[in-house]
Amino acid sequence: MTALPNSTVIAVIGAGTMGAGIAQVAAAAGHSVLLYDAMDGAAAKGRDGVARTLSKRVASGKMDQADYDALIGRIALADSLAALAPAGLVIEAIVERLDVKQSVFSQLEDLCGPEVILATNTSSLSVTAIGAGLKRPDRLVGMHFFNPAPLMALVEVISGIATDPAVAQAIYATAAAWGKKPVQAKSTPGFIVNRVARPFYAEAQRVYQEGAASPATIDAVMRDCGGFRMGPFELMDLIGHDVNFAVTNSVFDAYFKDERFLPSLVQKDLVDAGWLGRKTGRGFYDYADGAEQPQP
Ligand code: NAI
């Protein structure tokens, strides 16, 4: 199966941390992109964020002004789900809740043509379960980007029990054509990376909760001595605690409450406080005044 041609319109639903980045990736690959978000102003904010990031590349001479103009010009804002009908591939990157994702996909089924591929960027929900209520679950596939989507190479292509192998192949080829390193996996809880990474977050939070060391110390050890690009606390702040906590809960539930995946009360506290990490200016660290470097 070959990649979707550049003439295919890509719709992205959810213009937050991931959706905006995915829109950038698809537009950079030459596709026209329709970006939609249910929250007023969020799609424009998402595109503005992409423009801000890329304008720094223009300023530093890493990107031509003409390429910048063309890329940003390829991202159009959509004001309803119905406006996504011209898309050949819809990538959903909304809140990590099964009921909300199911509802969006069942609305899309009635709005989009029969050949449209429906993809979810879910981090941990079952692709099989998301597709369960659909008339055509065979065209639903996981297309799991990593954060930040424009920089991270990996894309997990996740097949649910009903996913048509040709659909998974098309998404695999498309991700590769977009310069990514795709990997195929079945829809098991957490897929590959979010399953393997759970103990990285959980044990770090337990070490902190037991008073053994601070987040800054643990991060420094893992980053500077352990060879990880980011420590667990700075990475959770980047991901967003609402998202990371939802993923842990989902993996915990999916493995029948196996205590290896027990969610952290420290992280629950951050979610309850609305301290969601970089995106809200505060998480384990303080990003006051847009500080690039977190303050412990
Ligand atoms: P986010 O909170 O930054 O953005 C989500 C956006 O979706 C918000 O702008 C919200 O207004 C919008 N939204 C919510 N419900 C909607 C609906 N019914 N229709 C249209 N828009 C809606 O979340 P983020 O981090 O971008 O995560 C999105 C998805 O990507 C989740 O499924 C998450 O698990 C997954 N993901 C997140 C990663 C991360 O590091 N944050 C990494 C990989 C996947």
Task: Evaluate: CB of 152 within 6 angstroms of ligand 1.
Answer: no
- Concerning whether 144 is annotated as a catalytic residue, the answer is yes
Q: Is 14 in the pocket of ligand 1 (CB under 6 A)?
A: yes
Spell out the residues 6+ positions from residue 7 whose beta carbon is closer than 8 angstroms to its own: none
Residue of 159, 194, 244, 250 marked catalytic: 194
- Tens of pLDDT along 116-152? 999 999 999 999 999 998 999 999 999 999 999 999 9
Query: Residue with the nearest Cα to atom 4 of ligand 1?
Result: 16
CA atoms in the 13 A half-sphere facing the CB of 7: 0
Q: What gap in Å lies between CA 91 and CA 4, rounded to an integer?
A: 13
Interface predicted TM-score of the whole assembly (ipTM), two decimals? 0.99
And the tokens for 228?
């990880």
Instruction: Give the residue, by CA position, lying nearest to ligand 1 atom 31.
Output: 96
Query: What residues pair up with 277 in beta bridges, in sequence order?
Result: 282
Q: Which two tokens stand for residue 95?
A: 């809140």
142 lines ligand 1 (CB under 6 A): no
Per-residue confidence at 220, pLDDT binned at 50, 70, 90?
very high
One-letter identity of residue 183: V
Map residue 230 onto helix, strand or coil: coil
156 is known as an active-site residue? yes
* In a shared domain, residues 141 and 16: yes
Please state the domain count of the chain. Answer: 2
In the structure encoding, which two tokens stand for residue 153, read together?
A: 């190479």
Over 70: is that where the pLDDT of 53 sits? yes
Residue 281 forms part of a structural domain: yes
Q: How confident is the model at residue 85 (pLDDT cuts 50, 70, 90)?
A: very high
Q: Are residues 79 and 217 in the same domain?
A: no
Both 53 and 23 in one domain: the answer is: yes
In contact, 250 and 288? CB cutoff 8 Å = no
Which amino acid does the sequence have at 119?
A: A
Query: Which of 123, 126, 187, 250 is an active site residue?
Result: 123
Query: With 70 as the cut, is the pLDDT of residue 111 above it?
Result: yes
Is the shortest distance between the CB of 239 and ligand 1 below 6 Å? yes
- Which domain-ending residue is among 159, 186, 213? 186
In a domain, 192, yes or no: no
Report whether 149 contacts 165 (CB < 8 A).
no
Structure tokens at 65: 């002004």
Task: Kindly write down the DSSP assignment for every residue of 119-130, as one continuous string.
Answer: EE--SSS-HHHH
What CATH number does the domain containing 224 carry? 1.10.1040.50
Q: Which atom of ligand 1 is nearest to the CA of 240?
A: 41
Residue 63 belongs to domain spanning: 10-186
DSSP letter for 40, please.
Answer: T
